[in-house]
Structures are given as C-alpha cells and as structure tokens.
Amino acid sequence: MSTATDSAVGFETNLLERNARQRTERMSLPLRGDEDVVGLRKHVRERAVAIGLSLVDQTKLITAASELARNTIKYGGGGAAHLDKLTDGLRQGVGIVFIDNGPGIVDLTLALRDGYTTGGGLGLGLGGSKRLVDEFDIDTRPGEGTAIAVVKWKR
C-alpha cells in the first residue's frame, strides 16, 4: 500500500541514484493519469518554495516537471516520479527522476529537437524541459524504459 510500492517501476537505471550523495529526502509518486500530473506539480511547488527558489525558477521547474510527467504517461505508458531534496554544502536544490517501463526513445537526438513529435504534440516537451532546468540526464533503452533526471539549484 505504500507509495514506494505503488510507484515501483521495473526499469533498472543508475539515474535513480544519480544524486544519492546530495539527497536528504525522497518522495515517490506514481504517474498513471492526468490527475497525477497535477498532484506532482503541487508537490514540486511545495519543495521549490521550501528551499526558497525564486518565483521564475519555481515556474520553470514546475513546467519542466509537467512536460516530463506527461511524457512518462503518454509515451512511457505510466511510471513514477521521485522528488528529491538535495543539499550540496550550502547549496540546496530540487531533483526529480522520471522513470517508466515504456518502449524507450529510439533516436534521442531527434527526440530532443524542438518540433519533433511522434505523438501529435508540439514536440517541445523534451528539448524545452532541458532548457528550463540546471541539470538534465537521460537513460533510455529500447524495449526497457526511460529515466530522466533533472535538477534545479537555488541561486
């Protein structure tokens, strides 16, 4: 019944532990439908406010989270988001790892290009999100799944 069980995704990726050294808290949320995207946005906002991100940086992070969560559901067939509080010395940040068991991204270069879409969208989700955060990493394997880790640090 725990959130951890509900949001467990079989795709094994080292991105899940990408910021393990800086991580002081982790909240795991399932991403199955529309309402989960709204729920995630709310939690990301709370984390971003808690560490004192500026309003513009909050908005950028939440927007990136919204795009990537939608991708996880739409292209990955659902999955999970792991929302991390990061502390690196005096620096604080919010990290999110999106993970799914979907078909994977076949051509990553193409998928990151603005305007490219396989799903009838605008093709801004992946490339656009990358511009909105400070750190952006993808681990994707055809037939296994996709994991995307993003971080926004407080300036």
Partner 1 sequence: MERIPILRMGDLLLVTIQVDMHDRLAMTLQDDLTERIVRDSAKGVLIDISALDLVDSFIGRMISNTAAMARVLDAQTVVVGMQPAVAITLVELGLTLTGVKTALNVEKGMTLLGKNLNR
Question: Which residues contribute to the site for partner 1 (CB under 8 A)?
Answer: 34-35, 37-38, 41-42, 45, 55-56, 58-60, 62-63, 66-67, 70, 114, 121-122, 124-125, 127-129, 131-132
- Which of 77, 142 has the CB closer to partner 1? 77
Distance CA 150, CA 147 (A): 10
Cβ–Cβ contacts within 10 Å for residue 153, how many?
Answer: 18
Tell me the closest approach of the beta carbon of residue 39 to partner 1, in angstroms: 9
Tell me the closest approach of the beta carbon of residue 14 to partner 1, in angstroms: 28
Distance CA 131, CA 42 (A): 21
Closest CA to 132 of 51, 67, 52: 67
- Which of 45, 141 has the CB closer to partner 1? 45
Tell me the closest approach of the beta carbon of residue 38 to partner 1, in angstroms: 5
Cβ–Cβ < 8 Å for 95, 151: yes
First to last CA, the chain: 38
- Which of 95, 125 has the CB closer to partner 1? 125
Tell me the closest approach of the beta carbon of residue 83 to partner 1, in angstroms: 16
